[in-house]
């Protein structure tokens, strides 16, 4: 079956819930591998042979990686789809039913025959000048945990089921359509519901395209990211980008998380600022974070009630409830996020405890208890009144103090209903979950709102008084009034408001983040092995080919000479880039006249990089693969300073053809782009020409 897509299904078993695993239709008899340690270091070390040169580039490493997966028997799998097993070492060893099966699909895309040759993600992150690679590798975990290869359809001739990896129907021998298979797989590559979707070019530059964390347990979600892109140490990834447009609690999370932690959520996993829209730099990004994070709350409180009673009261409420001083925006939103987490955990634990207890109770039994409930509650309240000061009483101790009053089932029921109950003398029963003792605790407090707000207490106590819904409403209100540029309050000094809006917009404009795997730092314990970062320059007479600028390739060599390095460099770039199919390295720059048999370890010494000059020798038909930006020649010259496409909306001048942002030209994102547009520079030139003056040259 000829196709531009090769699928490899990697079956992975991880503990994500208590449901039994879904069974594969065909049992793979290969040995299981460890999800977290596969491939092993010893296996990855075999990329370099005991003698002679070996290539450490991604394209070869990926093939080695796939070969490390045990192959199923030919009877199990037919066609390009192959299943492999991986398992989670933390799963219960006593029973496999404690784990759920998910599948990591690896799709190898032949770019030369692909429906989409160029990469839009490379263009907006700043890699548009990279030559087009031979291969793209997609790593996909579907939301349902099944493999892409699980797809099947009825045979058009006999109606029998035909699986995606079968080249023909087993019943009537009708050949399967390659187009149907490719249509299905391409639809999967564009699907936005996947749990995880990443793509890596064969030069080691990749993109984390999709992360749907809500659809899976957090532990597995984070492990999946770490594992999928963690194998970059084996596969020699260069950089992986991610476009952060995540929302949480209905808010722009990259803005909220940056204020609290100093970086976006992806920063917890090593992703750093890569490129900002509207020509924003790393320095301006960091300055915007620091400006917003350190903005003192006193600015908002010094205006008194003029701010609006709700914002003023919310800030004061959390300042009085927090056990530490809240001085700036970082402190305020940090406490709010912490309280939301505490309230959610507490609510989840309460729901679990209540559901377990209620399963043991029936409505018939409760009806017989109605006459005794008031007696039990009064006994519990009597114990709480006897406790001095602000001491908490654990549920276990409270139950033990009144154990003679009623059966254990009734005591459990009353404890569940005790929290929040109002008492005749104006007191209220407060409850909290103590994570240290893993138990619920109770005490009596004054029922007035003022006394509650003036009491200093822990984060768990606050979250027990304020529901998760209340905290979220407060946080959204503060976010819209203090951070959201479009809705920011006006009752603050104009200078402060302008600075806050500008800083918030800058953080929202910064969406591209990159994790640098730093392959040049790769080391080896083998003294005979040398890792060289190889950069190339071209001597072709054509200026077009001389402008090709591929990123450096990591070459791994064992006991190699200068001649070996040239051969290895030629092969490395040939295997990675379409335009360099005939590339031939001719000389090492800065080492002219060196004998071909010279050992590179002696020649380079501690130097870890080398420049190689050679000829591209590409045919004109291959020129379309020169850059990821495509064959179009566009010029970006916006008033904000942008010189390349950054993913924001742009339009072009009908006279000079230069692209610029609509936003920078005074056109809001909500407005449509005008059918005709002439930039100010061309308007001036036209005016001068019509008035008889000298025309300006662009």
CB atoms within 10 A of CB 563: 14
In this prediction, residue 304 carries a pLDDT of 55
C-alpha 124/C-alpha 121 separation (Å) is 6
What three-state secondary structure class fits 303? coil
Give the largest Cα separation in the chain, rounded: 107
Min mean pLDDT across 73-77, 356-360, 428-432, 484-488 is at 73-77
User: What is the distance between the alpha carbons of residues 44 and 36, in angstroms, rounded to a whole number?
Assistant: 14
- Residues 509-540 as b/e (b if ≥16 CB within 10 A, e otherwise) read bbbbbbbebebeeeeeeeeebbbbbbbbebee
Strand partners, 431: 442
Which pLDDT value is given to residue 132? 94
Distant-in-sequence, close-in-space partners of 142: CB < 8 Å, separation ≥ 6: 103, 105, 148, 188, 194, 195
* CA separation for the pair 62, 453 (Å, rounded): 59
Under 8 Å between Cβ of 616 and 625: no
**Given this model, what pLDDT does residue 535 score?**
92
Lowest mean pLDDT: which of 171-180, 202-211, 246-255?
Answer: 171-180
Which domains does the chain possess? 5-121+133-238 (no CATH), 304-491 (no CATH), 519-625 (3.10.20.90), 635-690 (3.30.40.10)
- Nearest CA to 633 out of 540, 508, 544, 557 is that of 544
Assess whether pLDDT exceeds 80 at residue 1. no
Q: Which pair of structure tokens corresponds to residue 474? A: 């407060």
Q: Are 343 and 466 in contact (CB under 8 A)?
A: yes
- Could you report the per-residue pLDDT of 652-668, keeping only the tens digit for each? 998 888 999 999 888 88
Can you tell me which residue has the tokens 């051969």?
Answer: 567
pLDDT tens profile 628-657: 988 877 788 998 888 888 888 999 998 888
Distance linking the first and last C-alpha atoms of the chain:
54
User: 378: how many CB neighbours lie within 10 A of its CB?
Assistant: 12
Q: Give residue 309's pLDDT.
A: 66
Length of the chain: 698
Q: Highest-confidence range of 72-86, 345-359, 426-440, by mean pLDDT? A: 426-440
* C-alpha Rg value of the chain to the nearest Å: 32
Average pLDDT score over the chain: 74
pTM to 2 decimals?
A: 0.71
pLDDT at 16: 36
Q: Is the model's pLDDT at 3 over the cut of 70? A: no
CA distance 140 to 194: 7
Q: Report which DSSP code applies to 239.
A: E
Sheet of strand 584-588, all strands in order from the earlier edge strand to the far edge: 553-558, 529-538, 609-615, 584-588
Is the distance from CB of 185 to CB of 138 less than 8 angstroms? no
Distance, CA of 320 to CA of 453 (rounded, Å):
6
Asked if 610 and 536 touch (Cβ cutoff 8 Å), the reply is no
Q: Give the β-pairing of 100-110 and 5-14.
A: antiparallel
User: How far are the Cα atoms of 123, 363, 409 from residue 374, in angstroms, in the given order?
Assistant: 70, 17, 15
Report residue 679's pLDDT band, with 50, 70 and 90 as the boundaries.
Answer: confident
Predicted local confidence at residue 600, as pLDDT: 86
DSSP for 138-153, written as a single string? EEEE-TTS--GGG-EE
Extract the tokens encoding 455: 């009491």
Q: Which tokens belong to 138? A: 């997609």
- DSSP track, 259-284: HHHSS-GGGGGT-EEEE-GGG--HHH
d(CA 683, CA 691): 12
pLDDT tens digit string along 415-453? Answer: 877 877 877 777 888 877 665 665 778 888 876 543 333
Of the candidates 297, 261, 245, 285, the one whose C-alpha atom is nearest the C-alpha of residue 481 is 297
Is the Cβ–Cβ distance between 88 and 15 less than 8 Å?
A: yes
Cβ count near 173 (within 10 Å): 10
Where is pLDDT greater, at 71 or 601? Answer: 601
Q: What is the pLDDT of residue 260?
A: 94
pLDDT for 96 equals 44
Query: φ, ψ for residue 225 (rounded to 5)?
Result: -65, -50
**Residues 34 and 87 sit within 8 Å (Cβ to Cβ):** yes
């Amino acid at each position: 079956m000829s196709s531009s897509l090769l699928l490899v299904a990697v079956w992975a078993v991880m503990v994500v819930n208590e449901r039994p695993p879904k069974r594969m239709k065909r049992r793979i008899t290969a040995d299981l591998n460890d999800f977290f340690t596969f491939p092993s270091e010893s296996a990855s070390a075999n990329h370099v042979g005991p003698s002679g040169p070996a290539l450490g580039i991604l394209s070869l490493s990926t093939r080695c990686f796939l070969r490390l997966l045990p192959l199923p028997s030919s009877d199990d799998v037919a066609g390009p789809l192959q299943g492999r097993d991986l398992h989670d070492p933390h799963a219960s060893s006593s029973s496999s039913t404690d784990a759920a099966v998910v599948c990591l699909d690896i799709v190898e895309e032949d770019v030369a025959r692909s429906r989409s040759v160029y990469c839009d993600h490379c263009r907006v992150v700043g890699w548009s000048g990279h030559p087009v690679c031979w291969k793209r590798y997609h790593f996909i975990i579907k939301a349902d945990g099944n493999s892409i290869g699980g797809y099947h359809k009825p045979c058009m001739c006999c109606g029998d089921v035909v699986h995606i990896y079968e080249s023909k129907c087993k019943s009537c021998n009708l050949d399967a359509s390659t187009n149907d298979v490719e249509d299905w797989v391409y639809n999967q590559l564009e699907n936005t519901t996947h749990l995880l979707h990443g793509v890596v070019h064969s030069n080691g530059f990749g993109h984390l395209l999709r992360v749907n964390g809500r659809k899976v347990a957090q532990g597995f979600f984070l492990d999946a990211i770490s594992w999928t892109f963690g194998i970059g140490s084996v596969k020699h990834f260069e950089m992986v980008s991610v476009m952060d447009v995540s929302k949480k609690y209905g808010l722009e999370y990259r803005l909220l998380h940056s204020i609290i932690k100093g970086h976006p959520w992806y920063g917890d996993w090593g992703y750093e600022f890569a490129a900002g829209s509207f020509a924003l730099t790393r320095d301006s990004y960091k300055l915007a974070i620091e400006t917003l994070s350190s903005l003192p709350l006193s600015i908002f409180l010094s205006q008194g009630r003029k701010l609006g009673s709700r914002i003023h009261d919310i800030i004061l409420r959390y300042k009085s409830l927090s056990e530490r001083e809240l001085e700036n925006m970082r402190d305020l939103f940090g406490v709010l996020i912490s309280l939301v987490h505490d309230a959610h955990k507490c609510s989840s634990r309460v729901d679990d405890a209540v559901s377990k207890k209620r399963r043991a109770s029936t409505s018939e039994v409760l009806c017989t208890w109605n006459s005794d409930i008031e007696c039990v509650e009064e006994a519990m309240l009597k114990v709480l009144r006897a406790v001095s000061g602000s001491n908490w009483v654990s549920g276990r101790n409270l139950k033990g103090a009144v154990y003679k009053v009623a059966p254990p089932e009734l005591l459990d029921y009353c404890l569940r209903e005790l929290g929040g109950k109002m008492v005749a003398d104006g007191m209220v029963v407060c409850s909290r979950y103590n994570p240290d003792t893993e138990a619920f605790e109770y005490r009596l407090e004054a029922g007035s709102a003022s006394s509650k707000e003036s009491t200093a207490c822990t984060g768990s106590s606050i979250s027990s008084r304020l529901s998760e819904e209340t905290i979220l409403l407060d946080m959204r209100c503060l976010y819209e009034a203090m951070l959201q540029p479009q809705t920011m309050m006006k009752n603050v000094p104009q200078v402060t408001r302008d600075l806050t809006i500008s800083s918030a917009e800058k953080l929202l404009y910064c969406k591209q983040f990159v994790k640098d795997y730093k392959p040049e730092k790769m080391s080896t314990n083998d003294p005979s092995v040398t890792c060289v970062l190889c950069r190339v320059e071209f001597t072709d007479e054509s200026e077009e080919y001389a402008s090709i600028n591929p990123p450096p390739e990591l070459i791994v060599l064992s006991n190699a000479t200068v001649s070996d390095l040239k051969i290895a460099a030629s092969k490395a770039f040939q295997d990675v880039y379409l335009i360099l199919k005939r590339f031939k390295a001719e000389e090492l720059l800065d080492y002219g006249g060196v004998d071909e048999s010279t050992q590179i370890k002696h020649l380079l010494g501690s130097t870890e990089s080398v420049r190689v000059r050679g000829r591209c020798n590409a045919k004109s038909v291959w020129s379309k693969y020169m850059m990821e930006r495509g064959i179009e020649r566009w010029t970006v010259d916006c008033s904000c300073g942008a010189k390349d496409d950054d993913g924001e909306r742009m339009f072009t001048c009908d006279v000079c053809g230069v692209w610029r942002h609509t936003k920078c030209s005074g056109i809001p994102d909500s407005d449509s782009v005008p059918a005709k547009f002439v930039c100010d520079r061309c308007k001036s030139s036209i005016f001068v020409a019509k008035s008889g003056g000298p025309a300006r040259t662009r």
